[in-house]
Amino acid sequence: MPSFSSFEAAAPELAAAVRARLTAHTHLTLATVRADGGPRISGTECRFEDGELWIGSMWQALKARDLQRDPRYALHSGSDDPPAWTGDAKIAGVVEEITDPDMILRLNGEAAQNGPSHLFRLEVTEASTVQVDEAAKLLIVEVWTPERGVRKMERM
């Protein structure tokens, strides 16, 4: 599975746009898979460190238990309300849970000092941005996958 840095190497312009949208807002939305197979939406924050994309979680939170059981995820950037909306970014893939205490402390920071916490590295199987053109007449979607590279679609 590709890391975020692999995505950046393969599609630098799209990766820069995805990163900018993911870091434009502190609060992001994470989709995980519940034990019964249904979707779960949770709030989360992310960070970029060492060429990787990371999320943390409070100890034994439902989203962490979901990811331990089924590592698939989808992450959606925060959005501004129209007319200030400039676009969204989405990433999907699988996570790897990191259990090294030093790494958890370094990347989860203050949260890890207050007790145990979870740390996940996000691997990327799909990344996309959605925006409108300057005239606000076309919806522009750019999608990257390791198999197909970058594709651009425009819709009226």
pLDDT at residue number 22: 97
Phi-psi bin for 45: left (phi > 0), alpha (psi -120 to 50), beta?
A: beta
Among the listed residues 33, 129, 2, the one whose alpha carbon sits nearest the alpha carbon of residue 76? 129
pLDDT at residue number 63: 98
Residue 61 pLDDT exceeds 90: yes
CA–CA dist 14, 148 (Å, integer): 14
Question: Could you say which DSSP state residue 45 is in?
Answer: -
Domain 4-129 belongs to what topology? Pnp Oxidase; Chain A (2.30.110)
pLDDT at residue number 110: 67
Of the given ranges (19-28, 29-38, 105-114), which has the lowest mean pLDDT?
105-114
Report which of residues 52 and 133 the model is more confident about.
52
pLDDT at residue number 114: 75
Residue 23 pLDDT exceeds 70: yes
pLDDT at residue number 136: 82
Report which of residues 85 and 34 the model is more confident about.
34
pLDDT range class, residue 105, cuts 50, 70, 90: confident
Number of neighbours of residue 63 by Cβ within 10 angstroms: 21
The two three-digit tokens of residue 17, written as one number: 């746009």
Q: Where are the domains of the chain?
A: 4-129
> Cα angle vertex 7, ends 24, 73, to 5°?
70
- pLDDT (tens digit per residue) in 123-156: 999 999 999 988 888 999 999 999 999 999 999 8
Whole-model pTM: value is 0.93
